Amino acid sequence: MDSARRNYPLLLLSQFLSAWGDNALLAVIVGQLTYLQRAGALSEEQLRTHNTVYTSLLFIPFILLAPAAGYFNDRHPKTTGLAWGNALKLLGTMVCALSIRFGPVWQGIGYLVVGIGACAYGPAKYGILPEILPRERLVRANGMVELLTLVAILGGAIAGSVMADVWKDAVGRSYVALVAIYLASLALNLGMHRTPANPGIRWNANLSAFRDHAMGLAKAPRLSRMLLGTGLFWVCGAAMKINFQPWGLKVLQLPDNTQIALLGLWLSVGVMVGSLLAGRWFPVGHLHRTRLFGFTLAGLLALLFSVEHLGFWRQPTLQAGALRLVLPVLGLLIGAGVAAGCFLIPLNAALQAESDPDKLGKTIAVQNLVDNLGMVAASLLCLGSVQAGISASGVFLVLAAVTAGTVALLRIPEPSPTTPNPGDRR
């Protein structure tokens, strides 16, 4: 088996386990807030604030360390970046476990370390694709990576929520399970064939090179709009993820963390469907339908706002054992996910295919920076909503307005075969 045939399946499985762990760990941490609120130790506003702060800790390293991540993944083999990323996530999980004895502050410190690991891992998981696959497979490969990532987000969030419910009085068991997941992902990375390195890249020139490359991408009419579009996707995803807990508890009156996590199931199912459809429908670089899916997403977010105020969204329901499924809400979430998947995947593939291959690590690091700035913006939106007295439902309406306004500006020009791209200048 050659290197490409070996590395691609190992990458997919490693990425699945790593993303599963990230989301299960957050669900275990945030899930404890539900029981603190029920015990009267937290108000609704405090729950929303703590939820947002914990979730934001994963994003911060991507902003502060984006240049270093780009340098590391341009200079060293992408397989090394994958392994180091998982090693840091493993360490962060063990730091989180210290909270059992020394208090909840260690959960925040540990999840921040996990975020540093994710920052190292992120550029490698995408940057390795053009090194191991031909160009014509990039759209489908991106779709598969996103598909498995979203399955992992879903599975991890649900599994972590189940752990938070079942082991609410024995949190240490959750951390033991998560350590095992990260160990397995790290072992898969260590089993990959080593990809090429570029030892000629020097750190002393990296920061200015990263800045210049980011400015070049910002000045490129086509690439800059791709970055804006992918950033918008993560604004929506982060805001919805943060908002599901207070919205599910208050508006849908869901009884536990597991049923709150299932809200993400329907959204993720939609994104998975959208990712698969995008891989089949859109050749690399064909972005003329992107704005249509963006406006559709904005409309569906506005309808989620109306659930609290229009009773017909709450019937019919399906009772499946202890689970209560509100079918119209389920449909809205799936529809929003399909629109989001069809919006994101063509942008991701075109950005990778049209960037300078020798600087792809920096391009993906810039993309990670933009995406995580978007997620921090989503966190600030949620925190600002709490301070302004906007309800959890109102967050969806604000998000719909932000999405529609951004998509209105997102006019992506057709590529020019004769004009070099500013983001590609050396």
Q: Any idea where the domains of the chain sit in the sequence?
A: 3-196+216-415
Looking at residue 231, what is its pLDDT? 93
Matching residue, tokens 């939609």: 270
Q: State residue 283's pLDDT score.
A: 61
The answer to whether 33 touches 164, Cβ cutoff 8 Å, is no
Backbone angles phi, psi at 130, to 5 degrees: -65, -15
Q: Give tens-digit pLDDT for 66-93.
A: 778 877 877 888 899 999 999 999 999 9
Mean pLDDT value of segment 37-63: 90
Question: Over the range 338-363, which residues count as b (16 or more CB within 10 Å of their CB) and which as e?
Answer: bbbbbbbbbbbbbbbbbbbeebbbbb
Which residue has better confidence, 231 or 210? 231
Structure confidence by residue, pLDDT tens digits, 158-217? 999 999 999 998 999 999 999 999 999 999 999 998 888 877 777 667 678 778 888 988
Backbone angles phi, psi at 323, to 5 degrees: -90, 135
User: Taking the model in full, what pTM does it have?
Assistant: 0.82
Amino acid 49: pLDDT: 93
| Run of H or E including 254 | none
User: For the residues 345-368, what does the mean pLDDT come to?
Assistant: 78
pLDDT for 214 equals 87
- CA separation for the pair 246, 234 (Å, rounded): 20
Long-range contacts of range 129-136, CB-CB < 8 Å, 24 or more positions apart?
A: 129/352, 130/352, 130/357, 130/360, 131/78, 131/195, 131/196, 132/3, 132/4, 132/7, 132/8, 132/11, 132/195, 133/4, 133/8, 135/284, 135/353, 136/284
Q: How far apart are CA 368 and CA 120, in angstroms?
A: 11
Between CA 175 and CA 170 the distance in angstroms is: 10
Instruction: Note the pLDDT tens digit of each residue in 97-134.
Output: 999 999 889 999 999 999 999 988 987 887 788 788 77
Distance separating alpha carbons of residues 165 and 158, to the nearest angstrom: 11
Average pLDDT on 413-426 reads 52
What pLDDT, in 10s, does the model give residues 367-413? 878 988 999 999 999 999 999 999 999 999 999 999 999 999 888 77
- In this model, does residue 136 exceed pLDDT 50? yes
- Output the pLDDT for position 426: 37
Instruction: Indicate the range of 45-54, 145-154, 310-319, 417-426 predicted with least confidence.
Output: 417-426
Contacts of residue 265, defined as CB under 8 A and 6 or more positions apart, other chains included, come to 154, 158
**Is residue 424 over pLDDT 60?**
no
Give the pLDDT confidence score for residue 131 in this predicted structure: 83
Angular region, 253: left φ>0, alpha ψ -120 to 50, beta rest:
left
Q: What is the pLDDT of residues 297-346, one digit of tens each?
A: 999 999 999 999 887 787 888 887 777 788 999 999 999 999 999 898 88
Quick one: tokens of 408? Answer: 């209105």
pLDDT score recorded for residue 401? 97
pLDDT at 379: 95
Kind plus residue range of the DSSP H or E element containing 320: strand 317-320
Q: What does the pLDDT look like over 235-277, one tens digit per residue?
A: 999 999 999 999 999 999 888 899 999 998 899 889 889 988 8
The single-letter DSSP state of residue 323 is: E
Strand, coil or helix: 314:
helix
3-state class of 255 per DSSP?
A: coil
The token pair at 66 is 């984006």
Give the architecture (CATH level 2) of 3-196+216-415.
Up-down Bundle (1.20)
Q: Residue 19: what pLDDT? A: 95
Asked if the model's pLDDT at residue 41 lies above 50, the reply is yes
Quick one: pLDDT at residue 96? Answer: 96
